[in-house]
Structures are given as C-alpha cells and as structure tokens.
Structure 1
C-alpha cells in the first residue's frame, strides 16, 4: 500500500505521516499539543487528529522537533512549524487543455530577480508582454522553500512548499491561471538530486533516505532504491502538477539520480506524473550531462543541450577555460554537428576533452533538444555573472540568438535576453555564520586561476549582489532586440512549428563553407527547412535565395548573416 507523505484529509480528520524507519519515538505536536504516532511496518508513522487549516504542527523524532519534510506551507522559515492546509479557495478562471510540445518557446525566469518587486504578483503583470512576442512557455527556476529570503532555488529543503518571499500559494495559482489565459504553458524546475545545506531535517528523520557510499557535488546521494524515497519525489511532482495545474517539469541534474532503483524511478516518475491529468499534455525536460538518449526514448520530452550553447559561446568569445576547453578547438565545426545531430559529444574522442562522453542521439527528433545561448547556469556560473552581450560582438550575438529561435530545436530564452539585457545574473544566497563563510570561500576557490570567467568574485551573501542581478527593464537597445524576437518567433510559429508537428522524414544535412559559414537542410514529412549562416566572415560564394522568409544581415556584404526558408513537400 502506497503511503502518502505529509498531511491528508479524510472523513475521520487530518492524518499526518512521516517516514522515520529507524526512529524509536515519533510524535506530532499540533498547536503545541503532543499526539503519539503509530509506526507501520514500512517505517511510516501516522496519526489522525482533529485539525483546522492554518494549525501549526511539528514532528518530534527521537526528541528533535522538526517541520514536516513534505510541508505544503510554513509558518516562517525552514525551521518553523509547518501549517495544515486545506483545499484551494480560488477556482480556475481559464479553461486550459495545454499545448503541443512542438510549439514550445521557453522563457526561463527567476521570480526573485525578474521584477523589481521579486514576487509572483509582479511577474504576473509581465506575462502579457512575453506572450505578445511569441513566447509560449514560462520555466520557473525552483520555488521549493530554502533558508533565507534570496537564492537561486537549488538549495531547497522543503520541496513541496512555495518559497514565501515569492508570495502565497494563491499568488502562484493566479500566475498560472493568467499565463494560461494568454496561451502560455508554465513549467517548474524541480530539484530531486540533493537537499540544501541548512534545514534539511530529513537527514535526522530518515537517514536511510540517503546513500552515504555515494556523493553528489552537493552532498550525500539520495537512495532511490527505497520505495518511500521514490514516493516522496513522485508525490512532490504530482502535487505541483495537480495543485497548480502546471504544464510540466524541468528536472535538475538527473545524471546525479543514479544507483540502484534510479532507472525504475525515472520510468515510474514519468508515468505517474502524466497520469495526474491525462486530458492534457504534461511535458518533462531533463538536465542530463550524460548526453544519452535512453530517457528521451523512454518518454521524456527533451533534454537541455549545453553542447549547442558551448559551440556558440566559444565561436563568439574565443574562451577556452574550464568546460569550454574541448569546444574551443573548432566551434563552427561543433555548431555544424549540433545543427545536424542535436548533441555534439556522442561518445567520440574530442580534442581537449577527458574521457569520451555521450552516445549517438542523432535519431531523436529535433524537439528532444532544448537549446539556449544563455541560461541561469551559463551566465550565473561566471564569477561576475556577465551576459553574453557583455562578452561578444553584439551583431554576432544577434545572429546566434536569431539562429536559436528559428532552428528546428526547442529554443529557450533566459529572462531579459529577448530585450538585449546586459544586467548581470550573479550567484547569490542568504545564509549566515559558518555556512555563509564556507560559501564565500568555496566560490572564490572555484574561480581561482580561470581568467576568462572572472578572478574577482562578488560576495554571494551580500544583498548588493542580489540587487545587481535584478533584471533592468529600461535597456537602451530593447526595441531592436524585441523586434528581432517578435519577427523570428512569428516565422517559427507560421513555418517551423508545422514542420515539426509533421515529423522528421530523413536525417538533417549540414555543409560547412569556409571557416565560419554553413548551410543546413532539415527534412520533414511536411517539407524542408533550409538555413544559411555566416558567423564572422564575409562568404561571397554562399548565395541563399533573395526571397527568404526570414533573414538577418546581407550575405556577401556582412560578416554576420542568416537566411531561412521553407519548402512544402
């Protein structure tokens, strides 16, 4: 029998549950009053009590008081009592059936820095402008509660609870409802591979949640061989999809979801999450450094494709430090591979690289790859958080951005990119004491000796670092970038999306011309998509048609030029 994590209502009252398989004594403190809990054979403890929505409660596990690891709402920070929740009080105003994955144009945003207010309510007011540009999906960086007021969201310890600095659960429901009224999908970034460094009481309640023999870069690995662990994360995803009518999830660093039980967990996860609302499509994206096809072959929609980003970044900046090393030898050649096959690294030896990485993925449809020229990782993991516009030729970046939007892969825009933002996006957190000092030192050590990524590291705990990362809405060059975004996405919706929906009919063909130019053709049952590109040189022999449906720059005259056209079958 499947046990539910957290609280659940029934005709008998409110039942609280927690998994503490090795604990000797577990109790519930409801409104400060103790209630003994009963242990089941599977290690769950439960008790049914008379409760009201808004009541504060804690679990007492072998003398340690702690909030509910599956808390839906906190009375304060991650150390405070959890709150009993009831049914949502507001009804959906918009009828919503979802959107086809081929229509996805993703906009990644961080609620805390997207607007001056840093709230869901303020972000809701910006959605109409994004929809008008042709964006079709919002991807929220993680919103599960962590300690402190500010952070990226990847240090969450209460993954079922909305981070309170962003607003109330009702604010999130209104955000999603308004997005749907504008035709926008909403996707949530969910972190299942680790917990943050402060307030993760699950370590005390259930040490078996973790496999101490394996470690991730962020601490002990999670043990997915345990049925209760698998249920914790599946029920968490079911909660977000069902309670907030989300359209999908982006799963952070699934290459760290490994060990016994991990493959079964991922398959079960996809089946259960999609079953929450089978009447509409639920889209599942992974971040997976392995460049392997098996999850996408098993039903996950797509994977983040850093290979495309790295090729573009190296071509525009010439950087060769750190993970750019093996993309710096021939970035245009790598771009040809990315446009032809999706991933660049598919298990072949690579100059400058370590052991070969990846497996052949060229058989996957273009929609199985989420491409980007900027992301929170690639901007924020620089010491000074520079956006690409501060590092590269603006005309070269405009061309790369246009390529991102019209190529037949799923494009993702990082907040502000659509308006040519130069605001940095820095790493920031809100811890105190020894933990804060350890983060400061770790951040400085990480970038020591990597000149291109920045030697001087802003204090990640300073409020100024957070405030500097707030998106500026008064960019001087915004109109030009917004016009390019609008024009490229109109072409995509009218001519690229129908081809994607028709399905691929043959492998893509990509030809390199000279040192920095290429042409590409993608074959679909509905026709072909043809593209010509020169990225930094005038190529007089590259002569695309004069009546192209979408173009940037002039071939034979400009060093940066792009031309795209379609032909029906």
Structure 2
C-alpha cells in the first residue's frame, strides 16, 4: 500500500509517539491537552501551522487549546467517541489486520450500487450481517450515505463536521474496516458518500482560529463557502479522500453536490491525487452528484455522475408530478427521456426553469458514465412526507420502468428497501439541541411553502419534525411491517432482472455506444445500443396504459426480458405498462 502524506491531525509515529498538527492561522498560540490533563505546546511553523511530537499512543484522547483559552476538538480527528463536542482520539490506522489482502476491486462496468443509510441498517455490524443477502440480490457495490461524525445520535449524514471520523454511534473505525474487509471477501465493493461542499451547523470550530478556511464573498445554502483556493484547505480534503481509499480500503467515493464547489481545479486535482495514491492494478471509482451537468469532469478522472435528468424524466412519466425541478421535465417528457438514453444528460446547455443554461454536451461519453435510478435518498427524503415511488405510481408502471433501469447500459443504483417493495417513508431526520432543532424544523417546513399541497401554514404542520426520534424510526425499513407475498414478488422481479444484467449485459458493456432512440407514442419509446462485442441491445418501454404497435424482434434475436402487465404476447404489440429487452448477437 502506498504511503500518503498526512499534514492535518494526529499521526501515530513508528516509535509509538504521536505527531499533532493544526492549521490555525488566526491563533497566537496552540497547545494539545491530553486526557491525563497534561498540556504540550505546539510549535509555530510557517503558513499558520502549529505542530509538536508528543509521547503518547493510540487510544489517547486530546483537545487543542487555542490561545490558552478555547478548547476545541481536532477538525481532522480520526475518531470522536464522545461526539462532536467531546475530545478527539488518536487512532492507529495500521493496527487492523486485513484478511482480504489480494483484493484489487472490480471493473466499473460490473457495478450495481445499493445505497443505504448506515444507521438505519444497524450500524457497521448490522450492514456486515446483511451483506450475503445483498450479494444474492445481485448487488456488486454498497454505497454508504455519509458516515462522518455529526451532532447527536441520528442524522441523514449530511450535517457532518468531522470528515475524517466515522460516526461513533455506527461503530469504531476498526468496525468500519471489518465491514469493508468482509464485503471484499464476498466480492462486493464499498463506496463512501463524502461531503466536501459544507460543514454541518453544530460542532465545527474552524472559523474561530482559521477564518480563511471559508470565503466571505460566496454564501451557500449552508453558510459561507469553503475556500478551496487556499492550499491548506484543499489539502485537508485531499487527505480525507485518500484516507478513505488507503486507510479504509474504500473502493470509491461519491462526491455530494459538487455544484456547490465553485473550483473545478480542486475537483480535477482531487481525482488526480486519488488516482496517483493507489497501487497499479487496484481499481478505485469516483462518482459525482452535480446539478451543473459538467460532462467535462467525466473526462477528468471521474467515472460517472448520478443522472438526475434520467430520474426526473422517469418520475414525471410515472407519477405526473410537475412541481419544483420536475417542471423542467413536464413538457416533451418522453423526448427528454429518449435524449437521456441516447446522449446521457437531458440538459446539455439549454436553459432550465430559472432561465440559466445548464449542462454541457455529453453525447460523446459512454453510457456507463451515468448512474440511473428510480429512487435514492435525495429523491425520497427531499419530499415533504418522504414517500417512496411505489406509493405514488402504478406498480405495473414501476415494474416496466425497472426493465429499463436495470438492463440498460447505464450503471444502476437501488435505494435500501426498494428491492422488496418497502412503502415506509424515508424522511429527513436530525438530532440537534432544542434551539437548533426548532430552526431546522421551521426551515424544513418553509422549504415547501411554494408547493400546492403545503401552501397553507396549517398544511405545513403535517410535515414531520426532523428532530423527533419518531421521524427517524419511521424511516428504518422493516420488512415485518409489509405484506410478505408482495415483498417476495418485488424481490423476484429485482433478482430476475439483475441476473439477466449480469448474464447478458455486463460482459458486453465495455465499448458500448448508443445506437439511437425513437418515440413510439406518449410515454413510450425504443432505445438501442451497440454493445462492446458488436451485439445490439434494444429496450422497448411503454409507461402508458394504452397498447402500441412496435417492430417485432428480428429473426435470430433473443428476447431476454418481457414484462407485460396483461396477458398479450403479440410480438408486434407493446401493451400498456410493459418493457422488453431484445439482444441481437454480434454478426
């Protein structure tokens, strides 16, 4: 394993001592106070750095003392066993004994992602116990929603304030390593969702001694933007990315909301540094969430982007919803879905609902540069009532759409519980102190004031309070609450489609190119791809209730999937709520 440079935080030395470093350009003095009460001065270095070598080892708890008065945890803490306001803890990343030493990752085209919330899955140990069932389902990668230490015991994960420290309520750093090791032993990849665009609202003390960590001229929805132009700031996040890849052997990172990072050079350099930090032959994958549809980044070291455009078009066709960002897909929806399947993004520079051009041309990118889904944490949890898709759409239409999502050459993503037809909501939840909790509750409810269903203040009171425990508990998927027969029916659907994907699509994916898409009628289309081995994949999709004429499969082709909500088997007829996939072998 290649060494990585660690500048921030506490680094255990070969002789058992610990090197402490803090970037505090606004401080006049910095010391480290250990759990035994001893205080050790840090030496002032160039460019705002303070550092010292102290005779203490792994397990030592400590805090930094700023100007002899302000006691703060380490912003680069590797472990916060007592939460965001408690002391930091020295960790030895090399003490864990890895069992799966030969793991080199998997090729990107084999990826089938299962996104999950670590807390709702029972913490690191709970996830580990359920790995075999995910493997049986056909998953090849689990994606953990952010695990960085956040305030309280429950949170979506996007309020993290210690990017280097796994959330203590999920388990210890070594329990996270054990999860990763166990996943690798089963042939599963582990991806980590990381948040580099902001810190949470409580527990971040950087502004008190490193005000230049933030830009004063660029506000964001979460406060002042992080200033990636400052070397020490960008290095903080480079080190974090490499920590997950090297110290935890994570197989890939999903970067949250990079449209809020107004520094493309930072994103490009991060990809370069990650690529250079891993040994030759090891596969590491980088994914983006990016409303700006910057296709150029997908040629600058990033493997793929979450394809919100594809989701939004499918969601409008399935539900008829047209408010908020769905209004961008309310017209010519089927045409927009066809463009997505043919070229990747729908918006490639055209103005969106706010009149601002969005996106870059993406037709030159392979289909595997896009991650497609019907549900994820955002598209459920950002709804006021957290409804899952199957409570909003006809189940027959959802199953038809699954034939497209799970068999098309884009990389598929599932959200926890989706595979067994979970109808429980997935709500936005937090665990803040009463004052901050009240502000979050009111802010959350006001976000939906422009929605017809919540235009009245009394109606907005129906939106669950994020800060009460019941909101979180209702978001934990529980199969015991559902109908076992229906659950098995959904499971059989997902398992069957993923078996087909692994058998017929995945081996042919490298080198795949679009071969066009055509509109068959309202809510219906046919999309084709020339697969890497020269064979041709055609997927017909009808999300309307009306039957449509369609070209029959050519002689010599194989219908590998044919979902029809009714009993019709006419090969020239595509019934309502249906999808089929046809494979034409290479000639």
Distance 1:544 1:177, change over 3 A: farther
The separation in 1 between residues aligned to 2:355 and 2:196, in whole angstroms, is: 27
Alignment of 1:34 with 2:39, yes or no, is yes
1:128 equivalent to 2:132? Answer: yes
Please tell me whether the aligned partners of residues 520 and 548 of structure 2 are also in contact (alpha carbons under 8 angstroms).
no
Shift of 1:338: 1.2
Q: Could you report, residue by residue, the CA deviation over 1:377-430 in whole angstroms, capped at 9, with x for unpaired residues?
A: 010011110001001111111111221100110110011111111110000000
- Residues 191-202 of structure 1 correspond to what in structure 2 (within 5 A)? 191-202=195-206
Superimposed CA distance per residue, residues 238-257 of structure 1 (whole angstroms, 9 cap, x where no aligned partner): 11111111100000011111
2:11 corresponds to which of 8, 11, 30: 8
Q: CA deviation at 1:276?
A: 3.0
Residue 172 in structure 1 maps to residue 189 in structure 2: no
Aligned to 2:53, which of 39, 48, 51? 48
How many residues are aligned here? 560
1:436 maps to what in 2? Answer: 437
Query: What pairs with 1:386-535 in structure 2 (closer than 5 Å)?
Result: 386-451=387-452, 455=460, 456-474=462-480, 475-476=482-483, 477-501=486-510, 503-504=511-512, 506-526=513-533, 527-535=535-543
**1:532–1:544 CA contact under 8 A, matched in 2:** no
Alpha carbons 2:367, 2:514 under 8 Å: kept: no
Could you say what secondary structure the match of 2:83 adopts?
A: coil
Using the size of structure 1 for normalisation, the TM-score is 0.95
- Sort the Cα spacing of 1:2 and 1:162 in 2 relative to 1 into closer, same or farther, 3 A: closer
Contact 1:312 1:335 in 2 (8 A): yes
1:548 aligns with 2:544: no
8 Å CA contact 1:514, 1:539 repeated in 2 = no
Q: Is the 8 A contact 1:3 1:44 kept in 2?
A: no
Unmatched 5+ residue regions in structure 2?
A: none
Choose which of 134, 147, 154 in structure 1 pairs with 2:151.
147
Partner of 1:113, secondary structure, is coil
Partner of residue 341 from structure 1, selected from 337, 340, 343? 343
CA distance change for structure 1 residues 542 and 271 in 2, over 3 Å: closer, same or farther?
Answer: same
Query: Which secondary structure state, in structure 1, belongs to the residue aligned with residue 559 of structure 2?
Result: coil
Deviation at 1:544, TM superposition (A): 3.6
- The residue number in structure 1 matching 2:544 is 536
Change (3 A) 1:295 1:472: same
Q: Report deviation, 1:452.
A: 5.2
Indicate the larger mover: 95-104 or 272-281: 272-281
Cα displacement string for residues 517-543 of structure 1 (whole angstroms, at most 9, x for unaligned residues): 211111234121111111113334114
> Conserved in 2, the CA contact under 8 Å of 1:26 and 1:45?
yes
Residue of 109, 120, 128 corresponding to 1:113 = 120
Question: Does structure 2 retain, via aligned residues, the 8 Å contact 1:534–1:562?
Answer: yes
CA RMSD of aligned residues (A): 1.8
Task: Give distance in 1, aligned partners of 2:116 and 2:367.
Answer: 23
Mapped to 2, the partners of 1:349 and 1:201 lie a distance apart of 39
TM-score (norm 2): 0.92
State the shift of 1:325 in Å: 0.8
Q: CA deviation at 1:484?
A: 1.1
Cα distance in 1, alignment partners of residues 256 and 505 from structure 2: 28
| 1:82 corresponding residue in structure 2 | 88
Is the contact between residue 106 and residue 412 of structure 1 (CA under 8 Å) also seen in structure 2? yes
How far apart, in 1, do the equivalents of 2:163 and 2:6 lie? 18
Instruction: Kindly state the Cα deviation for residue 331 of structure 1 after the two structures are TM-superposed.
Output: 1.9
Matches of 1:83 and 1:562, distance apart in 2: 54
Partner in structure 2 of residue 355 of structure 1: 356
Task: Say whether residues 1:239 and 2:248 are aligned partners.
Answer: no
SS at match of 1:111: coil
Deviates more, 1:534-543 or 1:184-193: 534-543
**Per-residue CA distance 1:323-369 (angstroms, 9 max, x = gap):** 1112112322221111111111111246x553231111111110111
C-alpha separation in 2, matches of 1:383 and 1:209? 33
Task: Write the distance in 2 (CA, Å) between the matches of 1:216 and 1:549.
Answer: 48
Contact 1:152 1:428 (C-alpha < 8 Å) held by counterparts: yes
1:2 Cα offset (Å): 6.7
